[in-house]
């Protein structure tokens, strides 16, 4: 049985300020780096055979904390990047709500945003799901792969991989920084979720994965 760990990156200053990151390359802050080290000390016990990360620095640097403990090289895949939020990127969510109320209302309702250059949920789910499946192939049968990615990307990619509908996905809370999803795969059952939002106890409330 192959195990896939889908790991959200550590905290950034934009996370802390509820600012939309999307594909802007925002680095980890001091808290995020501590979170990555603490989480890596748990994940190393799973004896990963491979580590794959988004090429955005907040995810790649999170993965580096685990690579330092395992000696494994990190493979990067740009398909694991966060959802592209177009003209929202760099704004706080309060600014999005004030300046682009119709788009914000659709986002809040879980619908695709019309306008603003925001990536569709279907496109996001498919590209991340494809990347997750390719990452899983890097492990030998029965092995574990850890994938460092982003909040919205993780949730939508996992949902697409499992064949879940949009309403079903909305029942999942946002992944906290440096928490992960555990998936397993075998030939009889296909992909299954074994655990969700697992990690070291959060040090502070975490804003939505943007």
Q: Which residues are catalytic?
A: 9, 82
- b/e burial code for range 124-150 (CB count within 10 A of at least 16 → b): bbbbbbebbebbbebbeeebbbbbbbb
180 annotated binding-site participant: no
The residues that bridge with 78 in the sheet, in sequence order, are none
Q: Within 109-190, where are the H helices?
A: 121-136, 151-162, 166-169
Q: Residue 72: name the closest of 47, 45, 37, 39 by CA.
A: 47
13 annotated binding-site participant: yes
15 annotated binding-site participant: yes
14 annotated binding-site participant: yes
8 annotated binding-site participant: yes
Q: How distant, in Å, are the alpha carbons of 81, 139, 147 from that of 53?
A: 9, 15, 5
* Furthest CA-CA distance within the chain: 50
Q: Residue 4: name the closest of 122, 173, 123, 142 by CA.
A: 142
29 annotated binding-site participant: no
At 164 the three-state DSSP class reads coil
Annotated binding site for substrate: 8-15, 58
Annotated binding site: 8-15, 58
């Amino acid at each position: 049985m192959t195990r896939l760990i889908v790991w959200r990156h550590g905290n950034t200053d934009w996370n802390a300020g509820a600012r939309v990151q999307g594909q802007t390359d925002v680095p980890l802050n001091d808290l995020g780096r501590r979170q990555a080290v603490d989480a890596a000390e748990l994940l190393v016990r799973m004896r990963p055979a491979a580590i794959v990360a988004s090429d955005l620095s907040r995810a790649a640097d999170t993965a580096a904390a685990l690579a330092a403990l395992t000696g494994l090289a990190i493979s990067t895949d740009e398909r694991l990047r966060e959802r592209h939020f177009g003209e929202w990127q760099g704004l706080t969510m309060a600014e999005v709500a004030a300046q682009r109320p119709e788009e914000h209302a659709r986002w809040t309702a879980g619908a695709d945003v019309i306008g603003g250059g925001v990536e569709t949920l279907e496109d996001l789910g498919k590209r991340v799901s494809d990347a997750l499946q390719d990452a899983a192939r890097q492990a030998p049968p029965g092995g574990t792969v850890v994938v460092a990615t982003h909040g919205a990307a993780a949730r939508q990619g996992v949902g697409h991989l499992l064949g879940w509908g949009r309403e079903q996905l909305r029942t999942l809370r946002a992944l906290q920084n440096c928490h992960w999803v555990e998936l397993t795969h075998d030939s009889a059952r296909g992909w299954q979720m074994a655990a969700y939002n697992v990690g070291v106890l959060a040090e502070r409330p975490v804003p939505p994965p943007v």
